[in-house]
Amino acid sequence: MKPMATWVLAFTLACAVIAGGAPAFATSRIKDLANIEGVRQNQLIGYGLVVGLQGTGDTINNSPFTRQSLQAMLERLGVNIRGQTLRTGNVAAVMVTGNLPAFATQGTRLDVTVSALGDAKSLQGGTLLVTPLLGADGNVYAVAQGSLAIGGFQAEGEGAKITRGVPTVGRIANGAIIEREIDFALNRLTQVRLALRNPDFTTAKRIAAAINDFLGMPTAEPLDPATVQISVPKEYTRNVVGLLTEVEQLKIEPDQPARIIIDERSGIIVIGRDVRVSTVAVAQGNLTVTISEAPQVSQPAPFSDGETVVVPRSQVGVEEDGHKLAVVRQGVSLQELVDGLNALGIGPRDLIAILQAIKAAGAIQADLEVM
């Protein structure tokens, strides 16, 4: 029995080694693949004034909105300047933006970004006055005020000027106080919908299957490639937060269609894992034309009536750097495709043209997206 036991042990260890050496598929949490519908930020915007600038604010005569805003603010404070000439350069009209977090409560703070609206040169050292921030419905949800932090700067003298960064945009950390809440009773929902960040039929089905396996009942169903609907079970009634806490930690293997992304401006190429190529032959060559100028000066003979002239001398050379025809076999993998194209000795710009030509020939089984 000892030889038999030894053989069984060796076979078991071999299976374990093979299983350990097999490539594992990448899994992701549902939390990283989908958003919970209704749990989102809301954008806020407001118009205000920044004061305290060192002569780098708006030109009052060129920015009528700054003049009107300054007059209206001073009148509210009991100062009447109607008909007066204003020459201050320490005020700038700005737009204030921010994002209201989900489930934000009254009294909490949020960060805001302040951007110059007129011809101000810099907002450095400025202070934003009280500015209401409105939502898309026109209601005020927060009020912003505070000193700006500028990432850039500008300095100039009589004959030179230097600017680094963007001095006309600043940020106020915790610069706005939330005054109104957005009601959303998450715990009272009877159905919860998950919105996939990268819509896909297979991924939606796998998410629903993982949730049903975890809960032990058919409560989740994919409505479309971008949405999975979950019916809240009885044991999680008025405890939707607990249900979502469990669901978002489940791991699945996401699936995406084969795709090639090309950015012609920067020369960036991204090729997906499942891209496949049919049998195709590729040849690539560059034609280089070189023109060099070597003008010569022609001098007249001594004591003659001639003139000194410049005689052009041009040399034109043509060089063709061609490569042999290469065959890309059918069904090659991503690594084989990259190795084959790199073997041609081509750069990213030429690779973009080759991929587009192969796609036009119908030999790439993938979506080709040009940014």
What is the mean pLDDT of the segment spanning 346-350? Answer: 72
Q: What's the chain's length in residues?
A: 371
Lowest mean pLDDT among 197-211, 249-263, 319-333, 350-364: 319-333
Cα dihedral angle (233, 234, 240, 244), rounded to 10 degrees?
-30
Looking at the domain assignment, is residue 243 inside a domain?
yes
Residues 49 and 85 in one domain: yes
Are residues 62 and 167 both part of a single domain? yes
111, amino acid identity? D
Task: Name the band, by pLDDT with cuts 50, 70 and 90, for residue 26.
Answer: confident
207 and 108 in a common domain: no
Angle between the N-to-C axes of helices 240-247 and 201-215, in degrees from 0 to 180, rounded to the nearest 10: 120
Question: Range of 362's domain?
Answer: 259-290+314-370
Query: If we measure between CA atoms, which residue out of 341, 184, 352 comes closest to residue 267?
Result: 352
Minimum mean pLDDT range among 40-49, 113-122, 352-361: 352-361
Whether 149 and 194 map to the same domain: the answer is no
Q: Flag whether 308 is in a domain.
A: no
What is the arithmetic mean of pLDDT over 301-318?
69
Residue 144's pLDDT is what?
Answer: 97
pLDDT at 145 over 50: yes
Nearest residue to 241 (alpha-carbon basis) of 182, 187, 185: 187
Out of 42-46, 56-60, 152-156, 267-271, the most confident range is: 42-46
Q: What is the mean pLDDT of residues 228-250?
A: 93
**Claim to verify: residue 142 and residue 210 sit in the same structural domain:** no
The DSSP secondary-structure symbol of 301 reads P
pLDDT beyond 60 at 11: no
Backbone angles phi, psi at 118, to 5 degrees: -100, -145
Reported as a pLDDT band with limits 50, 70 and 90, residue 166 is confident
Q: For 302-354, give the DSSP string.
A: TTSS---EEEP-EEEEEEEEE---EEEPTTB-HHHHHHHHHHTT--HHHHHHH
Q: How far is CA 122 from CA 112, 153, 173, 205, in A?
A: 18, 7, 19, 53
pLDDT of residue 116: 94
- Report the b/e string of 42-71 with b at 16+ CB within 10 A: eebebebbbebbeebbbebeebeebbebbb
Of 178, 213, 231, which residue sits at a domain end?
178
Q: Cα-flanking dihedrals φ and ψ of residue 213, to 5°?
A: -65, -40
d(CA 286, CA 301): 48
Residue 93: pLDDT band (50, 70, 90) is very high
Arithmetic mean of pLDDT, 308-318: 67
pLDDT of res. 15: 42
Beta-bridge mates of residue 281: 327
CATH number of the domain that residue 198 is part of: 3.30.310
CA 326/CA 358 separation, integer angstroms: 13
Between strands 109-116 and 169-178, the pairing is antiparallel
pLDDT at residue 334, as a whole number: 59
Identify whether 52 is part of a domain.
yes
CA nearest to 50, candidates 127, 148, 151, 132: 127
Average per-residue pLDDT for the chain: 81
pLDDT in tens, 180-234: 998 888 888 999 999 999 999 999 999 999 999 999 999 999 999 999 999 999 9
- Residue in the structure block whose two tokens are 């750097």: 321
Overall average pLDDT of the 354-363 stretch: 80
Residue 150 and residue 220 in one domain: no
Direct distance between the N- and C-terminal alpha carbons of the chain, in angstroms, rounded to an integer: 68
- Note whether 170 and 233 are same-domain residues: no
- Whether 217 is in a domain gets the answer yes
Residue 128 phi, psi dihedral angles, 5° rounding: -80, 130
Tokens in use for 38?
Answer: 């209704």
Residue 40 CB neighbours (<10 A): 14
- Total structural domains within the chain: 3
Residues 125 and 123: their CA atoms lie apart, in Å, by 6
The pLDDT confidence band at residue 170, using thresholds 50, 70 and 90, is very high
Answer yes or no: do 74 and 52 share one domain.
yes
Residue 135 shares a structural domain with residue 190: no
Mean pLDDT throughout 285-313? 67
Do residues 279 and 215 share a domain?
A: no
Query: Which residue do the tokens 């690539």 mark?
Result: 284
Contact 308, 299 (CB under 8 A): yes
**Does 192 lie in the same domain as 168?**
no
Query: Considering the domain boundaries, does residue 36 fall inside one?
Result: no
Pick from 38, 41, 33: nearest CA to 199: 33
Tell me the pLDDT band of 259, cut-offs 50, 70 and 90.
confident
Instruction: Give the residue from 252, 268, 299 where a domain finishes.
Output: 252
pLDDT bucket at 286, cuts 50 / 70 / 90: low
Q: Is 17's pLDDT higher than 60? A: no
Q: Are residues 243 and 263 in the same domain?
A: no
- φ, ψ (nearest 5 deg) of residue 17: -65, -45
